Amino acid sequence: MRGSLIGALGMLVSACGAGPAPSAAVAPAAVACTPGDTALVRDVVYFGRNRPTGGTVSDADWERFLAEVVTPRFPAGLTVVDATGQWRGESGAVERERSEIVTVFHGGDAASRRAVAEIAAEYKIRFQQEAVLRERAATCARFE
């Protein structure tokens, strides 16, 4: 599982190597859901925990960020997964690091898209990060 996650993250990062694309709106209605499913947008955000000046984002710092920045913007729920990823930053060196993956589902409205962008921006500022990876997709979901 970890190897496939690292591979998938590597493909995502290399596919974005030309720089960030404009933040386009994803309409959940763009997918045809079966009866009983709800059309939503899934945002998955990858937070690397290495600090560019050395050291890492501590568990306490991560938990505080999650409580102060992420949870207030998505109080209905989210999922956090501990991971290990790697990427090639502006320096050209491949860096392997402990990471956190946060998944949120929302209606695709401007406020929710803005909330995800604010989370990424705050992480970059707070922990001096070069980048935060975000993937967005329209999806169908339901609680079983």
Is residue 71 one of the residues assigned to a domain?
yes
| Residue 53 token pair | 């000046």
Measured in degrees and rounded to the nearest 5, phi and psi for residue 130 equal: -70, -35
Place of tokens 């996650």: 5
Q: How many domains does the chain have?
A: 1
Residue 135 belongs to a domain: yes
Q: What is the pLDDT of residues 114-131, one digit of tens each?
A: 999 999 999 999 999 999
Domain assignment of residue 97, given as a range? 2-16+26-141
The predicted-structure confidence for 66-124, as pLDDT tens digits, reads as follows 999 999 999 999 999 999 999 887 888 898 999 999 999 999 999 999 999 999 999 99
21 lies in a domain? no
Task: Decide if 110 is inside a domain.
Answer: yes
Residue 70 lies inside a defined structural domain of this protein: yes
For residue range 4-34, list pLDDT tens digits in order. Answer: 333 333 333 333 333 334 445 666 666 789 9
- Report the CATH number at residue 120: 3.30.70.120
